Amino acid sequence: MSFPFKLFIAVAVWLLYFLLVYYGCRDELCDACGKSQGITEVVESGDSLQAAIPSYPIYFKWSDPKAYTDPRYDLDSMKQVILRGMGETNILKVTGKYFEEEGKAEGFDNLGFARATQVRELLGKALPDGRFEFRAQTMDEREGVRQNPFDAFSYEWVEPEATVSETVEELEDRIIMRFPYGSTEKEYDAKVEEYLDKLAERVKKTGEKITLTGHTDNSGSEEFNIKLGQGRANGIRNLLVKKGVPAALITVSSKGESQPVASNDTEAGQRENRRVELRLIKKQ
């Protein structure tokens, strides 16, 4: 056998050995790398999926007025937390919340009042009926609420004289402006003028959109109250336009008497229902 042929055989054997070692090591290293970096497929267990669903001590379900309690929380402890703020004369104001797309609750103007009443029932006899005040408030629908439990109430302790609402009230997600009986003209209040001035300057800079929704008490027919609510929303829009807000940024509508936030059985409740709700929508 000639020397060149022997050399060729040696080189071929060496190359074959090198390739076998290289690919074997590469596969082992890649497997280890994939495992260390979490590249392998992960299948979530039922427990982990359940943990992703938010839990609340007191919760509600879609189109259901009933207040449910989570057994992982102690109901007596929850009661004590709520009752901690009770004084000699103050009142517990409970606000039940609901989504506009939910169904109605039998015997109530809306699910908000039904849910507030359910929270009151959970407290039992710890507080007499005269120490409660019920309110209702709409919420914006968000992903998952039709299938999962959600929080739908809030509460605060207030003094009796403080239950007469101000002409303008700033809530977390909206501004409330109240109106006299049967009128489309807002009640005069320096705070309202000051707020509208500041709002106009802000919107002219940011380009945010404004939605104005008019509401009424239940005096008069439904048709009349739709028109009355629309007139109230139009009145606030006209004021904002005069202050320099482009009319194209303002949307107005009316719900009439269909979304009360307080009982229409009292004069104070009717006053709370005569309102325009103003909400800001950030520029996209």
Average pLDDT of span 147-162:
89
User: Tokens standing for 265?
Assistant: 């059985």
Place 35 in a pLDDT band, splitting at 50, 70 and 90: very low
Q: What is the pTM of this model?
A: 0.69
CB within 8 A of 181, min separation 6: which ones? 217, 219, 270, 271, 274
Q: Which DSSP string do the residues of 41-82 spell out, in sequence order? A: -----HHHHHHHS---SEEEETTEEEEEE-TTS-HHHHHHHH
pLDDT in tens, 84-133: 999 988 999 999 999 999 988 999 999 999 999 999 999 888 888 889 99
Residue from 179, 173, 247 nearest 209 by CA = 247
Give dist(CA 155, CA 78) in Å, integer. 13
What pLDDT, on the 0 to 100 scale, is given for residue 41? 36
The domains located in the chain, with CATH, are: 53-163 (3.30.1330.60), 168-281 (3.30.1330.60)
User: Tokens standing for 143?
Assistant: 């992903």
pLDDT in tens, 40-83: 333 343 444 444 567 899 999 999 999 999 999 998 898 999 99
pLDDT in tens, 191-230: 778 889 999 999 999 999 999 999 999 999 999 999 999 9
